Amino acid sequence: MKAIEIRNKYLKFFEEHGHKVIPSAPLIPINDPSVLFTTAGMQQLVPYLLGEKHPEGNKLTDYQKCLRTNDIDEVGDNRHLTYFEMLGNWSLGAYFKEESIKMSFEFLTKVLNIPVEKISVTCFAGNDEAPKDEEAAKYWEEAGIPKERIYFLKDNWWIAGEEGPCGPDTEMFYDTGKPKCSEGCNPDCDCGKYVEIWNNVFMKYFKHKDGSLTELKQHNVDTGLGLERMTMLLQGKETPFETELFAPIMDKLEELQKVDNIQSRRIVAEHLRASMMVIADGGRPSNIDRGYILRRLIRRMTRHLNKLQIDLKETENLIDLNVENLKEMYPELEENKETIKQVIIEEQNKFVKTLAHGEKEFMKAANKAKAEGKDVIDTETVFKLYDTYGFPPEVTEELAKENDIKVDMEGFNKLFKEHQEKSRQGSEHKFKGGLAEQNEQTIAYHTATHLLHAALRQVLGDHVKQSGSNITTERLRFDFTHPQKMTKEEIQQVEDLVNEKIKEDLPVTCEEMSYEDAKKSGAIGLFTNKYGDRVKVYTIGDFSKEICGGPHVKHTGELGTFKIKKEESSSSGVRRIKAVLIK
Ligand code: SER
């Protein structure tokens, strides 16, 4: 069965079981720059897992485009991917363990026709905070999984980051038929006998910053099934690279390569697909955050094309081939084909120059060391080559060999670890912030953002469109299209207008309607076609009307005094405002 058939069967199955199909959120989360990328299906649903009403109802299903970059350096082995698709179904307080397990079992055995003997499951073993999940085990047994293939594990608990909705999970495993690696071999073992295929999280709790757990108002189910992995297993393949998702590009690379290297081919195939998906969803390379990840993906891919001795001019053909291969699943690749080509090729050209600069820098340091009578190049230079010039350490090592000098890899690794630790902390912080930080302040800033948006349009004109928004507990940041710097007077007018609307203590109301009706009603929709059929529209008095997931304050009077702290350029044709609320 092809990946797209599995996806379609999944959505159809859950639709037949009363779920509404919602669109995948973009890889770059809407209105939430505090998270790097979408990493799980539940991410766009956090407010609804916490009790907001979802306009499409309380049973949902979708396919979700995901990018996880923690293991980026592992890509090249036989299983790691950065980009993947997660199929999911959700109960927002509708059904819980029994129905969820029944449906999963039915889908696996009746729709995908996986023999029951091939399925093992794990349930939560319990700890001080939450009990052993005997209930889930009971439903598995009732469904038809014998006791000896139901395992209890301590790790069966799922949360995104450190704070947020969470709960025990039950995981389903596919037995590849390989022999047990030892007597005690079970789904917890990563010898390759058991492969995890699906995870159902029973989101009953909320974990707070201080580590404490409280029960949520509603008991949710959040599930995730990795499409690439399922495709590989159902096709009896050893790696996802042998499925139709990657095979055409892998074959092409093999045909073009002058040096054989399967890891490099996998890295090129994987990173090319991931970069294309990120660019199609609006990502662009840069030196920070998301942009930096995209830059790394493109550069790493380029380096491995070099390793395979494939002319970089082939990149365009490889992109064409991938678009052809994947456009049925992702029409956005075809729609954005020219942009994708432009962005990737430009980034490659930059990288080629960087490599040339880096080599010069290297030669300088090497000559200096030699002049000083040393046979090893200083670690700072090696790190600088990595950090500033994007030189992977092995490239520096190769250069060193060619120039008869050594590299202190131990020193480099130490600096590298420190650096990694810093960026890891950074990204964890980001993930957490985006998902769970929904408190009084951020909600107030969210409403203030709507007022600001409306005020800007009134003062500057209807050409003003939101192009980004970022909210922390301390401030809001709003990016919008406007060709020139705002004058002092304009800034003052906008600030006054927002404060006037706060003083009027306007009611903030929410209505659900179809996307078409929302547009007709004059609501500003920020991300056309990224919404589902039914949307929520937030109205503030007669001043503002926006399609938005919420939540918001009930009355503008709750906001305090609005103050614009900064107006600056964000990028060409886009201005950025930072503003605070003073209570
Ligand atoms: N959120 C869970 C996961 O990512 C289930 O969807 O595995």
Stretch 477-490: mean pLDDT: 92
Write down the pLDDT at residue 257: 98
Give the contacts of 436 (CB within 8 A, at least 6 positions apart): 46, 161, 163, 164, 165
Stretch 55-75: mean pLDDT: 92
Among 30-44, 149-163, 305-319, 333-347, the least confident range: 30-44
Distance 26 CA to ligand 1 centre (A): 17
Which residues sit with their C-beta closer than 6 Å to ligand 1? 40-42, 88, 158, 199, 201, 222-224
With beta carbons less than 8 A apart as the criterion, state whether 274 and 297 touch.
yes
Write down the pLDDT at residue 542: 93
> Concatenated DSSP letters for 293-308?
HHHHHHHHHHHHHHHT
**pLDDT of 437 strictly over 60:** no
Measured CA distances, 540 to 14, 450, 452, 527, 563 (Å): 36, 8, 12, 20, 19
Query: Per residue in 549-564, pLDDT tens?
Result: 778 999 999 999 999 9
Distance 225 CA to ligand 1 centre (A): 8
∠ at Cα 79 (74, 83), nearest 5°?
75
Distance 2 CA to ligand 1 centre (A): 23
Better-predicted residue by pLDDT, 540 or 528: 540
Q: Render the burial of 278-287: b for 16+ CB within 10 Å, e for the rest.
A: bbbbebebee
In this structure, which residue's CA is closest to atom 3 in ligand 1?
224
Write down the pLDDT at residue 221: 98
Distance 153 CA to ligand 1 centre (A): 17
Better-predicted residue by pLDDT, 477 or 473: 477
| Confidence band for 32, pLDDT divided at 50, 70 and 90 | low
| Confidence band for 429, pLDDT divided at 50, 70 and 90 | very low
> Cα(191)–Cα(179) distance, rounded to whole angstroms?
10
Stretch 211-222: mean pLDDT: 95
> Cα(467)–Cα(384) distance, rounded to whole angstroms?
34
Write down the pLDDT at residue 33: 63
**pLDDT of 122 strictly over 80:** yes
> Cα(557)–Cα(538) distance, rounded to whole angstroms?
16
Rounded percentage of the chain residues whose pLDDT exceeds 70: 95
With beta carbons less than 8 A apart as the criterion, state whether 101 and 140 touch.
yes
Among 23-32, 168-177, 504-513, the least confident range: 23-32
Phi, then psi, of 387 in degrees rounded to 5:
-75, -45
**pLDDT of 581 strictly over 60:** yes
Write down the pLDDT at residue 141: 98
**Index of the ligand 1 atom closest to the CA of residue 88:** 6
> Cα(50)–Cα(443) distance, rounded to whole angstroms?
14
Average pLDDT of the chain, as a whole number: 91
The residue assigned the tokens 């092809």 is 2
Domain locations along the chain: 3-241, 246-432, 439-582
**pLDDT of 85 strictly over 60:** yes
Ligand 1 pocket, mutate which of 44, 166, 199 (most atoms under 8 A from CB) = 199
In one-letter notation, the amino acid at residue 49 is L
Write down the pLDDT at residue 426: 52
| Confidence band for 583, pLDDT divided at 50, 70 and 90 | confident
Ligand 1 pocket, mutate which of 158, 173, 204 (most atoms under 8 A from CB) = 158
Q: Six-digit token pair at 195? A: 């492969």
The residue assigned the tokens 């007022």 is 451
**pLDDT of 315 strictly over 60:** yes
Q: Which CATH class is domain 3-241?
A: alpha beta
**pLDDT of 115 strictly over 70:** yes
| Confidence band for 436, pLDDT divided at 50, 70 and 90 | very low
**pLDDT of 337 strictly over 50:** yes
Measured CA distances, 485 to 451, 461, 572, 575, 579 (Å): 20, 14, 11, 7, 16
Stretch 389-394: mean pLDDT: 72
CATH (residue range 439-582): 3.30.980.10
**Index of the ligand 1 atom closest to the CA of residue 86:** 6
Count other C-beta atoms under 10 Å from residue 419's C-beta.
13
Q: H or E stretch including 174?
A: strand 164-175
Write down the pLDDT at residue 532: 64
In one-letter notation, the amino acid at residue 259 is V
Distance 119 CA to ligand 1 centre (A): 19
Quick check: helix, strand or coil at residue 44? helix
Write down the pLDDT at residue 281: 93
Strand residues in 186-239 grouped as ranges (E): 194-207, 213-226
Measured CA distances, 69 to 62, 80, 445 (Å): 22, 10, 30
**pLDDT of 432 strictly over 70:** no
**pLDDT of 303 strictly over 90:** no
Ligand 1 pocket, mutate which of 169, 201, 221, 227 (most atoms under 8 A from CB) = 201
Write down the pLDDT at residue 413: 84
Count other C-beta atoms under 10 Å from residue 420's C-beta.
12
Distance of CA 445 to the CA centre of its chain: 24
With beta carbons less than 8 A apart as the criterion, state whether 295 and 387 touch.
no
Q: Model-level pTM?
A: 0.74
In one-letter notation, the amino acid at residue 147 is K
Distance 184 CA to ligand 1 centre (A): 27
Distance 310 CA to ligand 1 centre (A): 38
Distance 142 CA to ligand 1 centre (A): 24
Give the contacts of 552 (CB within 8 A, at least 6 positions apart): 443, 446, 447, 450, 508, 510, 538
> Cα(143)–Cα(150) distance, rounded to whole angstroms?
12
Stretch 31-37: mean pLDDT: 74
Phi, then psi, of 356 in degrees rounded to 5:
-65, -45
**pLDDT of 28 strictly over 80:** yes
**Index of the ligand 1 atom closest to the CA of residue 41:** 6
Among 376-380, 398-402, 423-427, 472-476, the least confident range: 423-427
Rounded percentage of the chain residues whose pLDDT exceeds 90: 68
**pLDDT of 434 strictly over 80:** no
Write down the pLDDT at residue 26: 94
